[in-house]
Structures are given as C-alpha cells and as structure tokens.
Homo-oligomer: A and B are copies of this chain.
Amino acid sequence: VTITGRTRLYAIIGDPIEHVRTPMVFNDYAARAGVDAVAIAIQIGAADIEAAWAGLGAMRNLDGFVVTAPHKGAAAGLCDRVEGAGLDAGAVNAVRREPDGSLTGTLLDGEGFVAGLRAQGIEPAGRRVFVAGGGGAGTALAFALAEAGVAALTLHNRTHGKAAALAERVGRAHPEVAVAVGAADASGHDIAVNATALGLSDDDPLAFDLQRVDPGALVAEVIMNPETTRLLREADARGHPIHRGRHMLEGQFGAMTRFFGLPLPE
C-alpha cells in the first residue's frame, strides 16, 4: 500500500485490537481492486467511545469503519442512522460516512454468517437450525437465517424471556419460518450454532450439549478467537462437520464493500 494525502481511510475500532484481520484483508482487496484506500486498526477503550466517535466523525477522509467488541452496541446509539439488521439487533459492525458527513451504521454479521455457510458449500435454505445465544450475534444470525429461508429455527438463551422475545420478533418478520424457543438441546436440527460468548476461554462450559446433537449435523461457531473453540474440537472428535467463526467474517467482506460503496471483491 502506498499511502498519500489523497488516500481514502477505512478503519476497524475495538479493544483489544491486536488480533483483528480487517486491515490485511481490506488492504489486499484495495490493492487488487485498484482502490486508493487504506484500512488501519484503531484501539479505543470502552470508556472512550463517545469522545472517539466525535473524532471519527470529524475525519473527513475517513469513509467508513468496522466496529468490533466492545463497541457494537454503543456504536448503534451513536450513529446518526441505523439500517438493516442493525435495527433488529440494536448493534452495528459497519459504519459509513454519507456525503453530508452523517454516519450510517448496519450489522453485517448475519449476512456474513449465511454467506460464510454458502462459501463452504452449505445451503441453509430448507434446513432446521438451532441457535444458542440471544444477544447481538444471535439476533443477527436469527434474522439472517430466517431471511435465507431456513425451514425451522430454534432459539435458545440462558434467560428464556430473551429468546422468547427474539423468537416473537423473528416470527413476525418471517411468518413462513417455524420459529421456536428451546432448551440447550439441538436434537432434531441439521445445523447447531453457538452465537454466545462461551468458548472465548477454553474453560467455558459448552453453549449446548453435544451428546444431544444429531449424528452428521453441522456444528458452527461465531467465535473467531480461538479459531477452533472447545465446542468445535469436541464436535469434530464426535464426527460432526464443523464450521469456524472466521467464515462469518470472511463471508461479510462482500457485503461490507457494497455497504461502503466500494467495488465488489473478485
């Protein structure tokens, strides 16, 4: 990347930031697409997001940025406008500067998860899918999987009421999908997804019981770090096909360039 005073800026904000891969992925893309733009990683602590936000807004050649933990929820409240899945989840992970300087946010995790499945040859349409976790990621996945045409969707959350409220919203938006609330039991499903934060540490309990997952069912993860969580390791040992969290990130890159108004990747 050769950076000049004319180079348009993109960024990823989060804390910690050392592990993010967006700058490499974006800068490889920009070089190949012939786009004079560069992405950097900016470390912003949770307590500093409001001050940082005003600063990001004042940087006129910053055309967009990716938002990662712990800022996805706060960023939704700071955007001038939230659209798409960002509205459903109350969280955003991509923010674009409009010509008038205002900031529009959206959440591409759900779209990325579905695209990531498809990139691995897994078509979710018509399948029965179990999702553990009713937070931002779970919400994004639930809406995107319903949109993608799954036959049935079972949502599980430790706090039952949260799963019930999410099921009600998804069911209302997608009456063609059989949406239900369930225990930590993925039996009877083709795909079982962990969309909780359990697995960031190897000592975490599993989000659902692997003994209850149907033989041959796909076990999927949204956690990217570690690349292979204990859930995936144990599912693999039991003979399940597995699907890593990084596919969700890789799957949303196309949607992200479209959201930013950049050329689509090859």
Contacts and interface: CB of A to CB of B under 8 A. Distances in A.
Interface of A: 1-7, 9, 12, 15, 17-21, 23-24, 27, 38-45, 48-49, 51-62
Nearest to A68: B5
Contact of A40 (B3, B45, B51): B3
> Max chain B CB contacts within 10 Å: which of A6, A19, A55, A60?
A55
A66 to B, nearest CB: 12
A95 to B, nearest CB: 14
Contact of A55 (B21, B40, B55): B55
A24 B2 CA distance: 7
Contact of A38 (B40, B49, B56, B62): B40
> Max chain B CB contacts within 10 Å: which of A4, A19, A57, A58?
A58
A19 B42 contact: no
Contacts of A49: 58
Nearest to A53: B55
B54 A17 contact: no
Contacts of A41: 3-5, 7, 61
A185 to B, nearest CB: 37
Each complex incorporates copies of this chain amounting to: 2
> Max chain B CB contacts within 10 Å: which of A2, A3, A21, A61?
A3
A17 B7 CA distance: 10
A3 B1 contact: yes
Nearest to A49: B58
Given A3-B27, A38-B3, A41-B3, A58 B55 contact: yes
Nearest to A57: B51
Contacts of A42: 9, 59, 61-62
Contacts of A44: 58-60
A147 to B, nearest CB: 31
Given A15-B60, A45-B58, A52-B54, 18 more contacts: A1-B3, A2-B24, A2-B27, A3-B24, A3-B38, A3-B39, A3-B41, A4-B24, A9-B40, A38-B38, A42-B59, A42-B61, A42-B62, A44-B58, A51-B55, A51-B57, A51-B58, A52-B58
30 contacts: A3-B24, A3-B27, A3-B38, A3-B39, A3-B41, A4-B18, A4-B23, A5-B17, A5-B20, A6-B18, A7-B23, A7-B40, A9-B40, A9-B42, A38-B38, A38-B40, A42-B61, A43-B59, A43-B60, A44-B59, A51-B54, A52-B55, A52-B58, A52-B59, A54-B55, A55-B55, A55-B56, A55-B57, A55-B58, A55-B59
